Chain A
Amino acid sequence: MDAETAASFRDSAARALSDPQLRANFQRAMDGLMTKRLAQFPDPGDLRDLRHLSTTIRSRSLLRLPELLEQLEVNCTKNGIQVHWAESCEQANELILGILQSKGAKTLVKGKSMVSEEMHLNAFLEGHGIEALESDLGEYIIQLDGETPSHIIMPALHKNKEQIARQFSQKIKDAKYTEDVDELTALARKVLRQKFLEADAGLSGVNFAVAETGTLCLVENEGNGRMSTHVPPLHIAVMGLEKVVPRLEDVAPLYAILTRSATGQAVSTYLNLISGPRGEGEMDGPQEVHLVILDNGRSRIHADPQLRATLRCIRCGACMNHCPVYTRVGGHAYEAVYPGPIGQILTPQMEGVGARHDLIHASSLCGACAEVCPVEIPIPAILIRLRREATHEDVASKVTGKGTGRTVSEDWAWRLWAAVLKRPAVYRLATWFATRFGKALPASAPLIRNWTQSRTKPVPARRSLSERMRAEGDTHV
């Protein structure tokens, strides 16, 4: 990577690495999550079979995506759920604003939804005078500080309880300072229950949508998702268009592998299956349920047989928890809605490979992410593909920003490299110089600096291998 394209990641990663508090917070959390996940899969054979089944279900769903989405729409509509389609985040935001305004809604409580983060919905609604309050405890904590999630499952992972204690005592009315986790939780409970009670509308994401029954499945532990979807008179659900599966039976293995991979739980506290608004004779539940299906670049990803695997993701976060880069720099360093390995392949495909060139290179390609992914997404292979896309303008490719990651300096570096390697005499000359004078080259020299800023400068051997072989009488070199 070169200075022209070294966008955000390198700088923000360097900042994160020099923050001992942040590193300690992540280290503790990630170690715990990896251990807990492993404990949930005692039998490697069962894990292999469950992964294979989950992968097959997700792959097949994607192969039948248009027909499943139509079936979902038909069955949701039959159940009384109003279905809307949005090509872009702007469209989805406008749609939601329209629904809220038509009901005169001024306050919205939100269950956790990464798609709504993708849409930057909260800021949009606030710009239109509608309060959008996060109710997942982690999301609530970061919203108080105007931050974004640093992990897709545990959004406030970067904060420790002292930081949260300070924040609560300053920002929650009449709250006294406490570092006791139960007391902090009780404080949030008190504030948020009042909000659930008063909210005009609730918003949630969707973990799985079932085409055959017209059902939205929500997975959670806290109960805020149920509060957001059952208490207010209006419920709006947003989902990426890839979330649909054919049957409820298909949800069973996906749910089993999701909670185990995400937090090392065999089961979540709640699995909430919503198949309609308040029915005939019901005393509660929302009067209206709306489903917004968002594209935002997903149909383009879907068109490519290799990149389509990106859409199998069930958002468990296991790839982050196991990534040697993520666990050290944390989620904010990626400066993207979806951090970590999955974000590194998803974000460049949504925003353009040139624009997020930094992300596709922020990986050692160690393969830990692919090894733990419950739906076997070949993240390293896709990263390599995207690295190529970033510098080549393949006509057939639909990747946005293809070829725009190419830079003059990197281009010349590779040309020079090729020119040297193609000419034995030049190559010999270059290695002769490197072995004789490489030691004298300062560590702060351009290009070398990129390597030496966090590592010792390598010392070249006194004689190159071919020189030594020639000296020993080998005539083949």
Chain B
Amino acid sequence: MSDARAAILGRLRASGEPGPLPSPLPALDTAVLERCQWPPAERVARLRKGMEAVHTEFLDATPDTWPNLVRAFCDREELKNLLYGPTSEDGAVLTATWLPDGTQLMPYDRPVEAFKRELFTGVDAGFTGTVGGVAETGGLLLTPGPAEPRLLSLVPPIHIALLRTSTIQDSFWSAVQTLGWGRSLPPNALLISGPSKTADIEQTLAYGVHGPRRLIVVLVDDLA
């Protein structure tokens, strides 16, 4: 409907307001955003506090112990299976270290159409990496894609996410700059701060309304 486009843009321009803008525009005063800065250890603590307040659970790990911790969690919760992206770097580590008995590793390696119903009804948990965290408010940054499909962190009732402490940024604003998201973004990028929740009935918080009921962050300390 290009007629509508021309008409709308025409009307927006017709008023002649505000005339030519100064170019370049004076820079925005972002001091209030820049004030959000903490040393690395404090960033970890802040992220944790923010996310625990909305029911996120944490597992403390090191670069060596995390695969075993994920496994131990799955066994403890008696999960039937764990859906993951086998071609991601962290996924490859899981493939290499997973023991065959107990919780089954389930690769998300085919288009969703091939197993949509099973994804919704037969998967106990999903595993993803993260590209960073947000200290100010708590939150994980994810860029789903070919290696880690979008629905891994959404459809299974438990989402297990791997977060390296060195990747935690001060704020979403600083993360956008550090990760270069302002220049280009993958088809999907996410900030996730906890399990799915609602307060639509009498402002009473209830968790697990549409997305995961539980969010488990495997916190890998790689700052040392």
A residues sitting closer than 8 Å to B (CB atoms) are: 25, 28-29, 32-33, 46, 49-50, 52-53, 56-57, 60, 63-66, 69-70, 79-80, 84-87, 91, 95, 135-138, 141, 154-156, 159-161, 164, 181-182, 184-186, 188-189, 192-193, 196-197, 212-213, 215, 221-224, 226-227, 230-231, 233, 241, 247-249, 251-253, 255-256, 263, 266-285, 293, 295, 299-300, 302-305, 308
Give the distance in Å from the alpha carbon of A123 to the alpha carbon of B197 in the complex: 28
Interchain nearest-CB distance for B47 vs A (Å) = 11
- CB-CB under 8 A for A227 and B182, given A273-B188, A302-B15: no
- CB-CB under 8 A for A249 and B182, given A137-B209, A227-B211, A269-B195: yes
B173 part of interface (Cβ distance < 8 Å): yes
Q: A79, A160, A247: which contacts B202 (Cβ < 8 A)?
A: A160
* Residues A70 and B177 in contact, CB atoms below 8 Å apart: no
B residues sitting closer than 8 Å to A (CB atoms) are: 1-2, 4-5, 7-9, 11-15, 17-18, 21, 25, 28-33, 35, 50, 54, 108-113, 116-117, 120, 134, 136-139, 144-146, 149-151, 154-155, 171-173, 176-177, 181-204, 206, 208-212
* Residues A275 and B149 in contact, CB atoms below 8 Å apart: no
Give the distance in Å from the alpha carbon of A278 to the alpha carbon of B150 in the complex: 10
* Residues B117 and A213 in contact, CB atoms below 8 Å apart: no
- Nearest-CB residue, chain B, relative to A197: B120
Give the distance in Å from the alpha carbon of A263 to the alpha carbon of B40 in the complex: 29
Q: Choose among A267, A276, A305 the residue with the greatest number of B CB atoms under 10 Å from its CB.
A: A267
Interchain nearest-CB distance for A40 vs B (Å) = 10
* Residues B139 and A267 in contact, CB atoms below 8 Å apart: yes
- CB-CB under 8 A for A275 and B188, given A137-B200, A181-B202, A185-B198: yes
Residues of B within 8 A of A181 (CB): 201-202, 204, 206
Interchain nearest-CB distance for B116 vs A (Å) = 6
Q: B117, B177, B191: which contacts A249 (Cβ < 8 A)?
A: B177
Residues of B within 8 A of A270 (CB): 190-193, 196, 211
Q: What total count of A-B pairs have CB within 8 Å?
A: 265
Residues of A within 8 A of B145 (CB): 279, 281-282
Interchain nearest-CB distance for A314 vs B (Å) = 16
13 other contacts beyond A65-B12, A252-B33, A284-B149, with CB at 8 A cut-off?
Answer: A25-B202, A46-B35, A53-B32, A161-B201, A185-B209, A193-B210, A227-B154, A249-B173, A252-B171, A263-B199, A279-B145, A285-B149, A295-B4
3 pairs of A and B residues whose beta carbons are closest in the complex: A223-B211, A281-B146, A252-B173
* Residues B189 and A275 in contact, CB atoms below 8 Å apart: yes
* Residues A305 and B176 in contact, CB atoms below 8 Å apart: no
* Residues B1 and A269 in contact, CB atoms below 8 Å apart: no
* Residues A164 and B146 in contact, CB atoms below 8 Å apart: no
